[in-house]
Amino acid sequence: MRSSRTSKAALRAWQAGVFVALLAFWYVATSPTLVPPIYFDDPNKAAFFFGEPLRVAQRIWVWFSSGSIYPHLWVTLVETALAFVIGTLLGLVVGLWLALSATASALLDPYIKALNSLPRLILAPIFGLWFGLDMGSKVALGVTLVFFIVFFNVYQGVREVSYTVLANARILGASDRQLLRHVYVPSAMSWVFASLHNAVGLAFVGAVVGEYLGSSKGVGYLILQAEGTFDINSVFAGIVVLTAFALVLDWMVTRAERRLLVWQPRGGETEKI
């Protein structure tokens, strides 16, 4: 146990070291007084194109200390949460339905594949026309990104349920509803959570891209406005905020996974038994 904690602490220290090294490289590479011009003829151009970490940190501080970023963060959070929840529920329900219905699966298979092969980002202008430039179009775009990754994982998880487990459950008198509750859904849940880490990121992407293409609020809108005025430091500040936001969402999914899948053996536990 102690060695495990030590290894984790060492890993965290190495990760922090890599982060500090990247920040130091960024600072040195964009400082005209520390390095001679290599790629650019004018050393000030590096800061213009890649920003300056101190100015980026200052911009983030101003946003949060003044509170000006909170309404934009709230809009992006609501859009991401709605897209994530709706897309996950639709993927779960449709995945279970098609996995348990061979006729419906065979009938809709070519349409599912055709929709999945469609680049969903090109739907953003259509959703803007249908739902306007408010929150609805961003949620719809996020749902299309989340749905398919959850759907295919649920479909595969249900189809790979052990026939031995199903046969034993039926011998014990389990009804179709009991099979769905105690066999199919638990089998699908491990696949669902395997996809949720990607799904929450895609919901986030859908919300931000939708804001970037047309909106009046949101972090994507802030980045678009900064790009319009060639304010590269604000652009990088928005990217940093979005990255931190995405990491927090991924951490929340990990916590939920650990709580809801407590029955699932950890790596190596099966072999020890």
Question: Are 178 and 132 members of one domain?
Answer: yes
Give a yes or no: residue 270 inside a domain: no
Mean pLDDT within 73-87: 88
Distances (CA, A) of 43 to 38, 50, 122, 232, 254: 8, 12, 39, 16, 43
Q: Inform me whether the pLDDT recorded for 48 exceeds 80.
A: no
What single-letter DSSP state applies at residue 173?
T
In a domain, residue 272? The reply is: no
Taking the C-alpha atoms of residue 94 and residue 248, their distance in angstroms, rounded to an integer, is 28
Query: Is the per-residue pLDDT at 135 higher than 60?
Result: yes
pLDDT confidence of residue 271: 42
3-class DSSP assignment, residue 1: coil
Residue 227 lies in a domain: yes
Please name the residues in contact with 140: beta carbons below 8 A apart, sequence gap of 6 or more. Answer: 83, 123, 127, 130, 131
Pair (20, 84) in one structural domain: no
**What pLDDT digit, counting tens, does each position of 59-74 carry?**
889 888 888 888 888 8
Q: Distance between CA 88 and CA 193 in Å, rounded?
A: 10
Mean pLDDT of the 222-237 span: 82
State whether 198 and 220 are in the same domain.
yes
> Is 273 part of a structural domain of the chain?
no
Residue-number span of the structural domain to which 14 is assigned: 1-50
Residue 189 falls inside a structural domain: yes
Do residues 75 and 173 share a domain? Answer: yes
Same domain for 21 and 103? Answer: no
Which secondary structure element, helix H or strand E, spans residue 255, and what is its range? Answer: helix 232-260
pLDDT at 164 over 80: no
Domain count, the chain: 2
* Integer angstrom CA distances of residue 202 from 3, 199, 273: 37, 5, 38
Lowest mean pLDDT among 96-105, 139-148, 229-238, 257-266: 257-266
Nearest to 123, CA basis, from 40, 209, 204, 49: 209
pLDDT of 16 reads 85
Q: Which helix (H) or strand (E) holds 46?
A: helix 44-50
User: Is residue 36 located within the same domain as residue 160?
Assistant: no
Query: Considering the domain boundaries, does residue 271 fall inside one?
Result: no
Task: State in Å, rounded, how far the first CA of the chain is from the last one.
Answer: 19
pLDDT at 163: 61
Q: Are 152 and 180 in the same domain?
A: yes
> Is pLDDT at 229 greater than 60 in this prediction?
yes
How far apart CA 261 and CA 263 sit, in angstroms, is 5
Give the whole-angstrom CA distance, residue 96 versus residue 91: 8
Q: In the chain, what percentage of residues exceed pLDDT 90?
A: 0
Average pLDDT value for residue range 70-89: 88
How confident is the model over 159-167, as a mean pLDDT? Answer: 63
* Same domain assignment for residues 39 and 170: no
Is there a single domain that holds both residue 97 and residue 126?
yes
Q: Burial, 252: exposed, middle or buried (Cβ in 10 Å; 0-12, 13-18, 19+)?
A: exposed
Span 244-269, average pLDDT: 68
User: 16 and 119: one domain?
Assistant: no
Of 31-35, 157-161, 193-197, which one has max mean pLDDT? 193-197
29 shares its domain with 98: no
pTM of the model: 0.74
Query: Residue 269 — very low, low, confident or very high, per pLDDT cuts 50/70/90?
Result: very low
Domain with residue 178: its CATH number is 1.10.3720.10
153 or 167: which carries more pLDDT confidence?
153
Higher pLDDT, 4 or 144: 144
- List the one residue out of 143, 3, 165, 163 whose CA is nearest residue 82: 143
Band the pLDDT of 102: cuts 50, 70, 90.
confident
**How far is Cα 36 from Cα 43, in angstroms, rounded to an integer?**
7
User: Is there a single domain that holds both residue 22 and residue 153?
Assistant: no
Q: What residue type is 245 in one-letter code? A: F
Residue 114 lies in a domain: yes
**DSSP letters along 16-41, please?**
HHHHHHHHHHHHHHT-TTTS--SSSS
Report d(CA 152, CA 149) in Å as an integer.
6
